Structure 1
Amino acid sequence: MPPAVRLPKPTLTEQQPPPADLSEVASRLRERYLPTLPAPRRSPEPVDALIGTILSQQNTSLIARRQFAALKTSYPQWEAALADGPDGIEGVLRGAGGGLARVKADYIYNVLYRLEETRGTLSLQDTHDLNDAEARALLESLPGVGMKTASCVLLFDMARPAMPVDTHIGRIAARLEWVPARWNAVKVEHWFDEVLPRDWPSRYGFHVSAIRHGRETCRAQRPLCGECVLRDLCPSAGVFLAGSPTAYPVALSKENMPAG
């Protein structure tokens, strides 16, 4: 009896083909929430950008900026933070206010320690000379840096065509029935990576405008479907407008969102 032939696993776009209305949705969201793109930003020191991104997780932007400023005041060079250790970093973060000080201090210290141990420098400036895949691989090799954190640094601080997915984007994709509601954020991000144009303006524009849409209109509870620019394209609009806000699943709950 011949051995069984193992068929290749279908790609995500073979499981969920690109939606025909993707470009129309992207265009409407951009027109509504981000008609003018900002100039791409390249951080002079991506380590600063990475630490800032770590601080922003489960924090308000105001607190994250305050904590980062406190760190830079206490540690003009990151070598000083490495020497001070996680206890010292935690003390600085607590002094600046905000929660999860110990967790974030450990993340920051471990990133700095790994950089020193593996690269002999607390700099990531050379990532600007790497291609997109190489830059991502380097970021994701650092402790506590998952796909979403790396994508945020790549998109916002290195002008690379990444596509971070948060609860808002996942919820919108599920309500549009682009992806199954059971998919987690990592799987949805991989899918978007396959279907979106691989250029910075397209991905930055979609990411930012979709998040604003999720916050302002396509909210987790009581979405404002009557005001939605995607109302005629969204299969879920009729469900919510009929007065049954719990009849359609909300994708990417906190339980299946990755920390990194």
Structure 2
Amino acid sequence: MPPRLPRSPRPTPAQEVPPPPHLPEILRRLAAAYLPTPPAPRVSPEPLDDLVETILAQQNTSALTRRQFAALRAAYPVWEAALADGPDGIEATLRAAGGGLARLKADYLWNVLHRLEETRGELSLRVLRELDDPAARALLESLPGVGMKTASLMLLFDLARPAIPVENNIWRVAGRLDLVPARWNVLKVERWFDEVLPRDWATRYVFHVSGVRHGRQTCLARRPRCESCVLRDLCPSAPLFLEGRDEA
């Protein structure tokens, strides 16, 4: 029997779909329109606080997230108190502050606290500030309920690392610009951007924030405002939306 030949490695997303030459112009226009002056990078004094807020923010408004976090902090001045109170107590605190998914988020939060106590012996994530990017991501993704997107958000916003979280707005914008195939999911699009964007915090922070704002304000899911879009001449989808509007 002849020996098996080794399998060729699977191509990376950027090898499957190389970035177009006008990608830097897309970044430039989005930055100019939505975030011409980026803030200074911020490193959280206690990333666990920010992880709690990030979990609360899932399918929540910013105002509701702040209210729930304030309620948790009022009920539990230290996270050890939340761990001792258990998921039921955390759920009751979240429900009193308003918002949905209280049980699910209470379970996530308690499981994170429990895992940290078991594995690290303290309810803190300050160690993330000392780890390199891959190790920091690995630690975050080892926690219950923390996937690639949540870890990327933490790395970018709370640790000033060059991650590039992709949520539905950026995914939609990238698909309409034909940067990536429409069949790709959010995680694969994030891996593509991680390969093709410059690996510096400022570029990735500005693109994430401006891309989200573009999706919320202009490239809307149902009726995109192509007539006022700063990327209109670079977008192959714009003529299709505008033509359909004229026919209607």
TM-score bin, normalised by smaller chain: over 0.9
Give the structure 2 partner of residue 93 of structure 1. Answer: 94
User: Moved runs in structure 1, 4+ residues, more than 2 A?
Assistant: 1-5
Q: Which residue of 2 aligns with 1:128?
A: 129
How far 1:11 moved relative to its partner?
1.3
Compute the displacement of 1:123 (Å). 0.4
Distance in structure 1 (CA, Å) of the matches to 2:48 and 2:235: 40
Residue aligning to 2:45 = 44
Superposed, which structure 2 residues align to 1:1-260 within 5 Å?
1-243=2-244
Q: State the shift of 1:7 in Å.
A: 1.3
CA distance in 2, matches of 1:19, 1:85: 50
| Paired residue type of 1:32 | A
C-alpha RMSD over aligned residues: 1.1
Q: Deviations over 1:119-159 (max 9, x none)?
A: 00100111101111111110000010000011111111111
Instruction: Give unpaired runs (5+ residues) of structure 1.
Output: 246-260
Q: Tell me the TM-score normalized by structure 1.
A: 0.92
Residue 7 and residue 110 in structure 1: after superposition, are their counterparts in 2 closer, same or farther (change >3 A)?
Answer: same
Looking at structure 2, the residues matched to 39 and 3 of structure 1 have their Cα atoms a distance apart, in angstroms, of 54
Counterpart Cα distance in 2 of 1:18 and 1:165: 16
Flag the 1:244–1:182 CA change in 2: closer, same or farther, 3 A.
farther
Per-residue CA shift, 1:67-123, capped at 9, x if unaligned? 000101111100000000000000110111111100000000000000000000100
Q: Distance in 2 between matches of 1:144 and 1:150?
A: 10
Count matched residues: 245
Query: How far apart in 2 are the matches of 1:94 and 1:9?
Result: 46
Counterpart residue identity of residue 99, structure 1: G
Q: 1-side partners of 2:91 and 2:6: how far apart?
A: 54
Q: Partners of 2:115 and 2:220 in 1: how far apart? A: 39
Q: Partners in 1 of 2:237 and 2:245 — Cα distance?
A: 10
Identity value in percent? 67
CA distance in 2, matches of 1:103, 1:164: 22
Q: For 1:4 and 1:129, how far apart are their aligned partners in 2?
A: 42
Q: Secondary structure at the match of 2:143?
A: coil
* Structure 2 counterpart SS, 1:10: coil
- The alpha-carbon distance between structure 1 residues 5 and 134, as it changes in their structure 2 partners (threshold 3 A), is closer
Structure-2-length-normalised TM-score: 0.97
What is the CA distance between 1:2 and its match in structure 2? 4.8
CA distance in 2, matches of 1:198, 1:65: 31
